[in-house]
Amino acid sequence: DRLRGAGDTVSGQCVGSYRAVREVGRGGMGVVYAAEHPLLGSQAVVKQLRPELSAQRDVIERFFNEARAATAIRHPGIVEIYDFGWTSEGAAFIVMEYLRGETLRARHKRGPMRWSTALALTRQIAGALGAAHAKGIVHRDLKPDNVFVLYQTSLDGWPLVKVIDYGVAAEVGAPPSDAIAGTPAYMPPEQWRGRALHP
């Protein structure tokens, strides 16, 4: 479960319509909290940038790009975004779906999977990407760490998949940028060749 191994407790800090319950991760960019809606009791995950990074326009653009892209696509294979904005302290945040499962990389480390399972996961990933392309959005960093395999299964018994982290997504046909965003081994070939992006 992505929210197991909780860290320090957060004393009811409100982020948007949600209340942070506990810290579950921390890095150079910010903090990740497990959260819940105080009235509905529904669970969520909050990604919150450090205040100093929240003042940098390029960082904010990439951070909120994840929320905008996922909201525009609206597909069951794309992580759902509930809210985004700024806290009263000026830190940017995104509130997103609470996922129970593990990344595809973590699943792979546990050992090989059956071909039928791999095919079922691949079909779901392709469906999510197809929905993104239909909205004119290219992920640009589709790697095992950005594919989340849920503990939940489909009616056919296959594990369900969510594609996450659309922070470096770009529009189809977008001109090349001087800044290379994404993981080189997984980014679209036309991106590192300096060409416009296409699905």
Strands 159-163 and 101-103, by their bridges, are unpaired
Return the residue matching tokens 């653009």. Answer: 61
Position 78: which residue type? I
SS3 state of residue 21 = strand
Segment holding 106, helix H or strand E = helix 104-109
Return the residue matching tokens 């090349």. Answer: 176
Active site residues: 141
Segment holding 35, helix H or strand E = strand 30-36
- Contact between 196 and 190 under an 8 Å Cβ cutoff? The reply is yes
Position 6: which residue type? A
DSSP letter (8 states) at residue 22? E
